[in-house]
């Protein structure tokens, strides 16, 4: 069928057909192309690369981190954090356990991730589909990172520099890879195990560690999950109240590590540090047809935190590539 179709193509359309065929290459091929085209990732700031980080460096702080989302409870958690004037960190998974892709307009997750930024939280990567990266090949690791980068960039216009490995498993070659790809690997020193037995021990675990140390001389990175009903509807408020009662300040994990917000993300093209506050964000829109053409002329952008930018060429570029990788059947109109 393909040969018969190509035989009917007008000569002047061959170039466009070639372009269309290129665009409809399979998802993984596009990621490979993007990866090869990607610039080297410079490191910046004082937070180390190539090691697993488990402890805050600024005393008196507690970094509440939430993994595996966004999910159906995340909006409620964002409401709660806002009511309490707390900024936290979210390590986002692209698509896990059938929750739907974060960059699929029908999933509704993109505006939630954008709200994380708008509310002052930090967004990091937690892989595309929650694979064990120690058990993965380098190519599989790369795919896990790049898939999530493309999705997050299409949502935020930047790539995070903070990463949390699923199952806390990233050592040796994995750490080397994450360094070369420009990520801080951030673990935790309070494992609340909020996912276990409905969080029956989570409160005591968290409270015991904080109360046995002084806020004047200690700081903590706490792990919980916004995919847990218990965490969003009970535990989060407990963690906030307990930390404050014991004299701790609740901050994003970057702040807990003494890293200014402008180092938390990088430009996907140049690789340089990029303050997300100055990035024009592609508006999440359920109206955008999933099988639309490659045109981005009508793409809208908005600022999440007082942006002064009027447009984002970078995010537009990656938005095109992302949407292409999702659903595309590109049909150039003049030569269909």
* Interacting residues with Zn ion (CB under 5 A): 67-68, 166
Comparison of 160 and 166: residue with beta carbon closer to Zn ion: 166
194, 225, 226, 259: the active-site residue: 225
- 81 preceded by a cis bond (ω within 30 of 0): no
User: In the bound complex, which residue of the shown chain has the CB atom lying closest to Zn ion?
Assistant: 67
Distance, CA of 226 to CA of 215 (rounded, Å) = 25
Q: Measured between alpha carbons, how far is 74 from 137 in angstroms, rounded to an integer?
A: 32
Dihedral angle computed from the Cα positions of residues 57, 58, 61 and 64, in that order, rounded to the nearest 10 degrees: -40
Cβ proximity to Zn ion: between 166 and 268 the closer is 166
- Residue among 67 and 228 whose Cβ is closer to Zn ion: 67
Shortest Å distance, C-beta 200 to Zn ion: 20
Q: Which is nearer to Zn ion, 166 or 284 (by Cβ)?
A: 166
Residue 7's contacts (CB-CB under 8 Å, 6 or more residues apart) are: none
CB of 154 to Zn ion, least distance (A): 22
Angle at 156 between CA 174 and CA 285, to 5 degrees: 130
68 is catalytic: no
Instruction: Between 94 and 268, name the residue whose CB sits nearer to Zn ion.
Output: 94
Smallest distance, Å, CB 91 to Zn ion?
7
Active-site residue, 119 included: no
Positions annotated as catalytic residues are: 67, 225
């Amino acid at each position: 069928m393909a040969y018969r179709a190509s035989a009917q193509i007008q000569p002047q359309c061959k170039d466009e057909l070639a372009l269309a065929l290129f665009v409809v290459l399979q998802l993984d091929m596009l990621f490979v192309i993007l990866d090869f085209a990607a610039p080297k990732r410079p490191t910046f700031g004082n937070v180390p690369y190539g090691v697993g980080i488990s402890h805050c460096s600024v005393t008196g702080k507690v970094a509440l981190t939430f993994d595996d989302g966004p999910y159906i409870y995340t909006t409620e958690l964002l409401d709660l954090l806002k009511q309490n004037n707390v900024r936290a960190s979210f390590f986002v998974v692209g698509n896990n356990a059938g929750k739907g892709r974060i960059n699929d307009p029908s999933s509704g997750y993109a505006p939630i991730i954008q709200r994380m930024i708008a509310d002052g939280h930090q967004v990091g990567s937690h892989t595309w589909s929650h694979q064990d990266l120690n058990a993965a090949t380098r190519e599989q690791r790369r795919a896990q990172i790049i898939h999530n980068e493309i999705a997050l960039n299409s949502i935020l216009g930047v790539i995070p520099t903070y990463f949390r490995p699923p199952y806390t498993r990233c050592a040796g070659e994995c750490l080397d890879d994450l360094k070369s790809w420009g990520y801080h690997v951030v673990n935790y020193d309070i494992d609340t195990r909020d996912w276990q037995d409905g969080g029956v021990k989570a409160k005591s675990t968290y409270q015991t560690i904080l109360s046995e140390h002084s806020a004047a001389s200690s700081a903590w990175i706490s792990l919980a999950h916004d995919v847990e009903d218990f965490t969003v509807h009970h535990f989060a408020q407990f963690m906030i109240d307990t930390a404050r009662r014991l004299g701790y300040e609740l901050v994003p994990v970057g702040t807990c590590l003494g890293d200014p917000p402008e180092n938390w993300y990088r430009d996907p093209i140049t690789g340089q540090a990029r303050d997300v506050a100055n990035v024009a964000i592609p508006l999440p829109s359920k109206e955008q047809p999933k099988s639309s053409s490659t045109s981005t002329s009508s793409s809208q952008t908005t600022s999440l935190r007082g942006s002064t930018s009027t447009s984002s060429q970078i995010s537009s570029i990656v938005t095109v590539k992302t949407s292409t990788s999702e659903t595309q059947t590109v049909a150039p109109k003049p030569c269909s």
